[in-house]
Amino acid sequence: MFCGGKCEINKLPKEYQFAHDLSFFLHDILVQIIKSGEEAEIFASRFKIDSPKDLETFSVLSGDELWVWLEENNYQYVLDDLVLRQATVALLSDFCHFIYEALKCSKKMKLTVAFALLRKPLKDNLFYLEWLLVNKPDFLKTFKDGLSEPTTDVRRDVIKLAVDSIATPGLYGSDLIYDFRYKKSANFGFEGNWNKANHLITTFRDFKTEAQNFNFVFSGEEERETQLRFLYTRLPYLLNYVVEVMESLLENIEKTDPVYIESMRLRRLAGLTIWAQSLDPIHCGWDIEKFSEKLKEYLKIECPKCSQVYSPDLKFMGILYEGGKMRCPLCGSVSRLPLKSVRLTP
């Protein structure tokens, strides 16, 4: 049937549809961060030049000439602020482009392409955003001198600090975040699938190509099922972490609306709870049950009607996630976001 290019192919099995939709929901939050930030001009450097002479010079320079003049006239703080803001939006925009295309490919069951596209944003873009969050001066100095491939120790240190810096630090384990993205010997991490998606032949012992085979090329129904299960038992976890990193990073650049942040966090946590509860721990390859327990610690709500604190029932979690509404199990009242979440120290 001809549909004028408006039909969207969806070959995704039903059991993975919620995880896919949740992943897109988290992607869309990141896109909204970019759009809202650009509308509010928070990615444009803001500074004051008191000298009329300097202001006149500044107004007629651009590009490399402006950059050199700022360095030579003691305006390094202006350059640093500009790099911070521009690097943040550039890295995040690039991240979103790759995630969007990866999710579109996954929906069409083009899993080799999906895995290949996920490698750069989750390994590279995310790391530099984490670095900007936890050690801006070190990033700016290294960026100025010339970036090089970070060492394992540097990656681990940055991720640990990032996990401790987000609004839900106890929800994530820095070792698991690292292993998902970088540890080649971790069979529950992405490295094996990323390498197989990008190379027809791999020789590393933990994902060595079998005899008379090419990586992913001859995948049958069973192999594709394994790849889908792998992807959708991990991707929402990582994407929500990215949202947390970006919200904390933007707080360091410019204050954002706390009501919106809290409301979206409740919706995200509700979606993650539904997702986590639907997974079979045997098929996850990592401790999804521990993650589910941690979610409960953060998903505490104060009812605006009776002022009691409660944890939403799973059967009402979809209403909170999709509609931004919650029913209090104590007094029965239905409330719309924004709702007041209660932070508990894990």
How does pLDDT run across 74-95, given as a tens digit for each residue? 888 888 888 899 999 999 999 9
* Torsions phi, psi for 295 (to 5 deg): -60, -40
Is 55 a member of any domain? yes
Statement: residue 307 has pLDDT above 80: yes
Q: Does 7 fall in a domain? A: no
Residue 105 has pLDDT above 90, yes or no: yes
With respect to residue 263, please indicate whether it lies within any of the assigned structural domains: no
pLDDT of residue 22: 97
Residue 344 placed within a domain: no
CA distance 186 to 264: 32
Which range is most confident: 2-11, 89-98, 226-235? 89-98
Question: Residue 80: inside a domain, yes or no?
Answer: yes
Domain count, the chain: 1
Considering the domain boundaries, does residue 226 fall inside one?
A: yes
pLDDT (tens digit, 9 = 90+) per residue, 166-207?
999 889 999 999 999 999 876 888 988 887 766 565 655 555
Amino acid identity of 224? R
Question: According to the model, what pLDDT value does residue 59 have?
Answer: 78
pLDDT for 330 beyond 90: no
Yes or no: say if 336 and 296 are a contact pair by the CB < 8 Å rule: no
The per-residue pLDDT for range 139-168, each reduced to its tens digit, is 988 988 888 889 999 999 999 999 999 999
Instruction: Pick the more confident residue, 198 or 271.
Output: 271
User: Radius of gyration (Cα) for the chain, nearest Å?
Assistant: 23
Lowest mean pLDDT among 216-220, 224-228, 272-276, 327-331: 216-220
Q: pLDDT tens digit string along 257-268?
A: 788 888 899 999
On whether the CB atoms of residues 79 and 71 are closer than 8 A, the answer is: yes
Q: Is residue 273 over pLDDT 90?
A: yes
Averaged confidence pLDDT in the chain = 85
Question: If pLDDT is split at 50, 70 and 90, which confidence band does 226 have?
Answer: confident
Average pLDDT rounded to a whole number, residues 250-258: 83
Write b or e for each residue in 305-334: b if 16 or more Cβ atoms lie within 10 A of its Cβ, otherwise e: eeeeebebeeebbeebbeebebbbeeeeee
Q: What is the mean pLDDT of residues 313-325?
A: 88
- Residue 53: CB atoms within 10 Å: 8
Domain range for residue 120?
14-256
Is the Cβ–Cβ distance between 282 and 233 less than 8 Å? Answer: no
In this prediction, residue 4 has a pLDDT band, given cuts at 50, 70 and 90, of: very low
What's the confidence (pLDDT) of residue 75?
83
**218 confidence band (pLDDT: 50, 70, 90):** very low
Residue 11 above 90 pLDDT? no
pLDDT in tens, 44-76: 777 777 788 888 887 787 777 887 888 888 888
Query: What pLDDT does 228 receive?
Result: 92
Longest dimension (CA), the chain: 73
- Within a domain: 185: yes
**Residue 256: which region, alpha, beta or left (left: phi > 0; alpha: psi -120 to 50)?**
beta
pLDDT of residue 177: 97
Q: Looking at the domain assignment, is residue 334 inside a domain? A: no
* Residue 147 φ/ψ, nearest 5 degrees: -70, 145
pTM greater than the 0.85 cutoff = yes
- pLDDT band at residue 5 under the 50/70/90 scheme: very low
For residue 346, pLDDT beyond 60: no
H-only helix segments in the chain:
17-39, 52-60, 63-72, 76-107, 111-120, 126-134, 136-145, 152-165, 174-181, 191-198, 221-232, 235-253, 258-278, 281-284, 288-298, 314-323
